[in-house]
Structures are given as structure tokens and as C-alpha cells.
């Protein structure tokens, strides 16, 4: 597969406006996802309609140039590294204020870009670090390309997904139900498998190998949630679907950490958790309950205790399994992290018969995927059908047809797709799972092209209030780019203009086929390949 990158940038950086506009040039940074690191302080400034300082850390050599106690010149912030900077006893770094902007003005600029170009995405970085199981020894500033794995320097993804459709008994029937016992058994086995993969990681750099072997971080997730809900006759985004989603994530977590304890007893804990750490003022600032428990600066505390007792996520696990957490604090876990929900676009299509991606609903029940094929000059449009539609046709009604109101063809009302779901419902599903996922979740809220901008802006504020670690939206905007997944109805409504060598203009619908340079492509894919500069490069 082609490589992909994630570029992240602090919302308080003096150059933040340039970053927001970075991908507007055709063909630029197309193998990158771009996301802003959004802080709670920025969101609070947006809520209060306040000013937002644009800052960068002061170097030690600059110490005499500013009054460190003057809030008009300097603010103290969390920063991922302390080297060569001015650091307070509690771990905050002195940052020079280079200017100020209205927080809502910057917010609107971000929202316009996201509305028109689907970027930058949001990484709620304070939430990421507050809920990081390795909170005392990591300062995370980036994620993998799709955002489901916040990682420290030299961190790497070890991901695996369970296909939820395989646990539905009597799909579409009166007794439709989920096989929880079988699911728990697969989680148990899969946790052991992912732990074994650490031993054969094949990473090229010594520091990468040390990072994964020292912490044994992995990310188990699931795919096919949307398809499984349909098989169970539940509407994605409904309160019942949110309850089911939370239960799936919670059972994965509880079983996974039980196995992490068993593996620790068999093979030893993650080396990080066997180490001892000195308590600092920064630790006590981040976890004031440690002070109440009698810890003081300079005390020694095992990593396994910092992980099991003082990780905000593990404290949530303790509400359901207090004895498990006591054992993990005493003996240590085999890994520091267990769960992460990836987008699974390729594996859902190739290995799960086009079950819905990751935590998503099905994009549509009959649509096209734009695939890169070796030897072709543009992406190839391939027709695909959702897993649940194929299952329904096989088990219930061979004549069933998406979008039809004809008797004998109409699908039940629980057959919904991405566009049928409100943005708040997308967020609610993600929030239900995030409570029990210790890394993060890759999720995209699809919104229609004509979705009102003012309503669109509220999605991100709602995501912040609901406790998400990240948020991404996609609004079909063919003027900016062509998506990987496209519906025939969208292509039918979109006109593409081609200017020929003689100056004449040809206008075609996106779904029309056109022959150019000896190859037949859809007008939409040909237009995108020429505009973005990748035509003929595959």
C-alpha cells in the first residue's frame, strides 16, 4: 500500500492560519491528513468569545528579554519537551505571546476550511493526554494517519479488528441477537495474538523496536458495527444502538485487561510497568489524588501503580472490576494499552465482504469505490454492495432494492446509511465507545453537501462536550476533491467542465464515462486525476 502521513499543528502556534490553508493548492500534501491540536483552553475561549494568544516556548537564552510574571508577555503551557526551554517546577513551559486573535474568528476560519475541504481534522489533545494510560511518562503530540492511535515519538501501530457481523445469531429474525460468549472468547484469543505480534514486529529502527517492546502497546478494535446493528434490526445512532456500542466496547476492554493480567503472570508485565519512577511536582499537579494518598515529591512509585491506579481510563475500569485493577497494580499488565478503533476500509471490503468500516454505518447500500489499479492512469470506479444488503437478499428477499418504495422491493426502515444519520448521532455513537477505548477512534461524520454551515460548526463543539479525543467530518464537495466512496446520485448531480486543446469546453456529468488517452474513466475520476496532478502516475 502507499504510505500515508499525519501532520499535526498546535492551535496556539503563531503560524496556525497558514497551516489551516496548507492543502488548498491542487495536488499538494495529498498523502497527508492534517489535524489541529485543539486544547480545552482554546475551546473555552471560543465558548466565552474571548481572545486567544498565539504563542511559542521561550528559549533559555531569551529568559532575560521578558518578564515571566507578566501575563501580557508570557503564558505557561503544557509542552511535549522541556529541553532548552524555561520550565516551572510543576512542568509548565514559559511561552512568549506573539499576538492575539479573537478565538471565534480563528474558530470560524477552521470551520470554513473543514466545511469546504474536510480538513483540518480535530485532535482534542488535552483529552488525549489526560486519558493516556502512560500519563506520567509520555507527552503525545501526534497520531497515526487516521487518528485512532495517539503515539509518542517512535511509537507504532499494532492494530487488529474483530468483525462484529460474525456474532449475530438469526439476522433479521424475530430472535436476532448477539453472541456475547463467543465474542468474549474471540477477544481473549485475539489479545494473546496481538501480544505475540509484538515479538515479530519487524520495525526497522532500534528506537521503534524498543518503544513497542518496552510498552507492548496494541490496539484491538472492531469493524462492521453498522452492518451488525442492521442485522440486529437496530437503527445506527438510536439510543438502543448507543447502548449496544458501549457494551461491545466495554466487554472488549474488561476481557482484554483480564487477559493482560493472565499474560503478565505467564510472561511478565510490560517492562515500563516493572520500572520505578520518582514522584515530581508535575505528577502531583496532574494527579492531585496522589497527594491525598500520601505521595510527596521525591517518593518512588512503581510504574504498574501509576498505570493501574492513576490512569483516568483505568479508574473507569475499576468501577466495573475493582479486584482486577488491584491485581494489575500489584503485578502489572502485559501491555500499557489495549484498544483502538481503526477505519478498516480495505480489510472491510477485502476480508469482510464489504461490512461497514470500523465504527461507521455503511456509507450506502449500493455505491462506488474509487480504487487505484496498477497500470491505470486514473482511479477506477468499482460498484459495490453493503454486506447487510447482500445478507438480506440471501436470507429474506432477493428482490430488495435500496431506495425503492415498490412493494416487494422496499427495505426495512432500519436499513439506513451515513447520510441518514445526524451529526450528533455520529458523535453519540463515538462517545459511547470512547468511554472504553484507551487509545482513540477513527470516525467520520458524513454530512450532505447542502448541510447548513451554522449547524455544521456545532458538530465540533458537541464532540468536545461529549468527551471525544478527535472529530472528523466529510461533506461531499467535488469542487475541492473526489472522495474514495461516492454515490451515483451525487455524481449524477455534479457537472465537470473540461477545456480541450482548441479552447472548447466539454461538460459532463460525474457518472458519465469518457475515453481519454486510450482509457475509459468516469468523468469525475478523470477530472480529479488531471486537477490533482496524479494522472498517469499509478
pLDDT at position 152 is 97
- Mean pLDDT in residue range 412-429: 93
Stated pTM of the model = 0.91
Q: Residue 151: what pLDDT?
A: 97
Cα–Cα distances (Å) from 457 to 41, 54, 107, 175, 477, in that order, read 18, 22, 9, 41, 17
Question: CA of 418: how far to CAs of 388, 459, 472, in Å?
Answer: 14, 15, 14
b/e per residue, 286-305, with b = 16+ CB within 10 A?
Answer: bbeebeeeebeeeeebbbbb
- Model pLDDT, residue 201: 95
Q: Report pLDDT digits (tens) over 162-184.
A: 999 999 999 999 999 999 999 99
What is the structure's pLDDT at 521? 87
pLDDT, averaged across the chain: 93
pLDDT given at position 98? 97
Angle at 24 between CA 19 and CA 25, to 5 degrees: 115
Helices (H), 377-478: 387-395, 423-434, 453-465
Give the pLDDT confidence score for residue 260 in this predicted structure. Answer: 99
Mean pLDDT of 430-449: 94
| Mean pLDDT score, 370-389 | 84
Give the pLDDT confidence score for residue 318 in this predicted structure.
98
pLDDT of 53 above 70:
yes
CA gap 316, 337 in Å, rounded:
14
Query: pLDDT tens, 101-139?
Result: 999 999 999 999 999 988 999 999 999 999 999 999 999
> pLDDT tens for residues 508-523?
888 888 888 888 888 8
Does residue 144 surpass a pLDDT of 90?
Answer: yes
Bond into 361 cis (ω within 30): no
Higher pLDDT residue, 191 or 472?
191
Averaged pLDDT for residues 446-462: 90
Residue 480's pLDDT is: 64
| Banded model confidence at residue 395, pLDDT cuts 50, 70, 90 | very high
Higher pLDDT, 237 or 484: 237
For residue 483, pLDDT over 70 is answered with: no
Q: C-alpha angle 507/403/475, rounded to 5°?
A: 55
Torsion of CA 281, 284, 285, 288, to 10 degrees: -160
361 in Cβ contact with 418 (< 8 Å): yes
Q: What is the pLDDT of residues 303-351, one digit of tens each?
A: 999 999 999 999 999 999 999 999 999 999 999 999 999 999 889 988 9
Reported confidence tier of residue 159, pLDDT bands at 50, 70, 90: very high
Angstrom distance (rounded) from CA 496 to CA 475:
18
pLDDT (tens digit, 9 = 90+) per residue, 184-196?
Answer: 999 999 999 999 9
Predicted local confidence at residue 511, as pLDDT: 87
Query: Can you give the C-alpha Rg of the chain in angstroms?
Result: 25
- Of 116, 103, 59, give the one whose Cα is nearest residue 478: 116
Mean per-residue pLDDT, 44-58? 98
Please state the rounded mean pLDDT for residues 299-306. 99
Share of the chain above pLDDT 70, in %: 98
Mean pLDDT of 246-271: 99
pLDDT tier for residue 538 given thresholds of 50, 70 and 90: low
On the question of pLDDT at 371 being above 80, the answer is: no
> How confident is the model over 23-33, as pLDDT tens digits?
887 777 878 89
pLDDT score recorded for residue 482: 61
At residue 475, the pLDDT reads: 86
Per DSSP (E only), the strands in 280-404 are: 300-302, 366-371, 380-385
Amino acid at each position: 500500500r502507499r504510505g500515508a502521513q499525519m501532520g499535526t499543528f498546535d492551535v496556539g502556534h503563531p503560524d496556525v492560519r497558514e497551516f489551516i490553508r496548507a492543502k488548498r493548492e491542487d495536488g499538494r500534501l495529498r498523502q497527508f491528513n492534517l489535524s489541529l491540536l485543539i486544547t480545552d483552553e482554546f475551546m473555552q475561549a471560543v465558548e466565552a468569545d474571548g481572545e486567544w494568544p498565539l504563542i511559542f516556548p521561550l528559549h533559555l537564552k531569551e529568559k532575560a528579554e521578558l518578564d515571566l510574571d507578566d501575563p501580557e508577555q508570557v503564558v505557561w503551557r503544557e509542552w511535549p519537551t522541556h529541553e532548552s526551554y524555561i520550565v516551572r517546577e510543576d512542568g509548565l513551559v514559559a511561552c512568549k505571546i506573539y499576538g492575539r486573535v479573537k478565538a471565534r474568528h480563528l474558530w470560524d476560519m477552521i470551520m470554513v476550511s473543514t466545511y469546504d475541504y474536510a480538513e483540518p481534522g480535530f485532535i482534542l489533545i488535552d483529552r488525549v493526554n489526560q486519558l493516556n494510560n502512560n500519563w506520567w511518562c509520555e507527552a503525545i503530540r501526534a497520531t497515526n494517519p487516521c487518528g485512532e492511535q495517539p503515539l509518542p515519538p517512535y511509537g507504532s501501530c499494532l492494530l487488529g479488528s474483530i468483525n462484529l457481523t460474525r456474532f449475530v445469531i438469526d439476522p433479521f429474525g424475530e430472535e436476532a441477537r448477539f453472541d456475547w460468549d463467543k465474542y468474549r472468547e474471540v477477544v481473549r484469543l485475539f489479545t494473546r495474538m496481538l501480544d505475540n505480534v509484538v515479538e515479530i514486529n519487524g520495525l526497522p529502527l532500534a528506537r521503534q523496536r524498543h518503544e513497542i517492546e518496552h510498552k507492548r502497546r496494541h490496539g484491538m478494535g472492531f469493524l462492521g458495527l453498522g452492518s451488525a446493528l442492521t442485522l440486529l434490526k437496530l437503527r445506527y445512532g438510536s439510543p438502543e444502538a448507543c447502548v449496544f456500542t458501549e457494551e461491545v466496547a466495554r466487554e472488549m476492554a474488561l476481557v482484554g485487561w483480564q487477559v493482560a493480567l493472565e499474560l503478565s503472570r505467564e510472561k511478565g508485565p510490560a517492562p515500563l510497568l516493572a520500572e520505578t519512577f520518582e514522584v515530581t511536582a508535575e505528577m502531583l499537579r496532574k494527579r492531585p489524588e496522589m497527594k491525598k494518598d500520601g505521595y510527596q515529591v521525591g517518593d518512588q512509585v512503581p510504574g504498574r501503580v501509576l498505570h493501574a491506579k492513576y490512569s483516568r481510563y483505568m479508574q473507569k475500569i475499576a468501577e466495573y472490576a475493582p479486584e482486577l485493577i488491584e491485581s494489575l497494580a500489584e503485578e502489572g499488565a502485559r501491555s500499557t494499552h489495549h484498544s483502538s478503533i481503526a477505519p478498516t476500509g480495505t480489510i472491510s471490503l477485502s476480508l469482510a465482504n464489504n461490512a461497514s468500516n470500523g465504527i461507521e454505518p455503511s456509507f450506502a447500500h449500493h455505491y462506488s469505490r474509487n480504487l487505484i489499479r496498477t497500470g491505470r492512469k486514473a482511479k477506477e470506479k468499482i460498484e459495490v454492495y453493503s454486506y447487510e444488503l447482500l445478507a438480506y437478499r440471501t436470507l429474506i428477499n432477493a428482490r430488495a432494492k435500496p431506495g425503492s418504495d415498490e412493494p416487494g422491493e422496499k427495505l426495512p426502515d432500519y436499513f439506513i446509511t451515513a447520510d441518514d444519520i445526524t451529526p450528533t448521532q455520529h458523535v453519540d455513537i463515538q462517545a459511547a465507545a470512547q468511554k472504553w477505548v484507551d487509545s482513540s477512534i477513527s470516525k467520520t461524520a458524513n454530512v450532505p453537501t447542502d448541510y447548513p454551515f451554522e449547524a455544521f460548526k456545532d458538530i465540533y463543539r458537541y464532540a468536545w462536550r461529549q468527551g471525544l479525543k478527535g472529530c472528523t467530518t466529510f461533506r461531499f464537495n467535488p469542487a475541492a476533491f473526489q472522495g474514495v466512496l461516492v454515490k451515483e446520485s451525487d455524481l449524477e448531480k455534479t457537472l465537470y467542465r473540461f477545456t480541450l486543446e482548441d479552447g472548447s469546453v466539454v461538460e459532463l456529468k460525474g457518472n458519465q464515462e469518457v475515453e481519454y488517452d486510450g482509457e475509459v474513466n468516469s468523468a469525475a475520476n478523470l477530472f480529479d486525476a488531471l486537477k490533482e496532478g496524479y494522472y498517469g502516475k499509478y
